[in-house]
Amino acid sequence: MTGMTASQVGRWDSPSPVAPAAGKGGPDAVPMEGGYLVHRIVPDDNSCLFSSVALVFEQSISRAPMMRQIVADAIRRDPETWNEAILGRSREDYISTILKPSSWGGAIELTILAVHYSTEIASVDVETGRIDHFTPPAERDSGNRCVLVYSGIHYDAASLAPMADAPADFHQTIVPVTSAGDEDPMLVAAKKLADVLRAKKAYTNTATFDLRCQICKKGLKGEKEARAHASETGHVQFGEY
d(CA 49, CA 120): 15
Candidates 5, 33, 15, 25; CA nearest to 184 is 33
Active-site residue flag, 169: no
d(CA 103, CA 95): 11
Separation CA 210–CA 51 (nearest Å):
25
Q: In this structure, what are the phi and psi dihedrals at residue 183, rounded to the nearest 5 degrees?
A: -85, 0
Alpha carbon distance 65, 200 (integer Å): 31
Active site residue 48: yes
- DSSP bridge pairs for 221: 210
- Determine which one of 28, 39, 48, 171 is catalytic: 48
Among 44, 45, 165, 182, the one annotated catalytic: 45
The answer to whether 146 is a known catalytic residue is no
Q: How far apart are CA 235 and CA 214, in angstroms?
A: 8
Query: Which of these is catalytic: 154, 171, 184, 229?
Result: 154
- Establish whether 133 is a catalytic residue: no
Catalytic residues: 45, 48, 154, 235
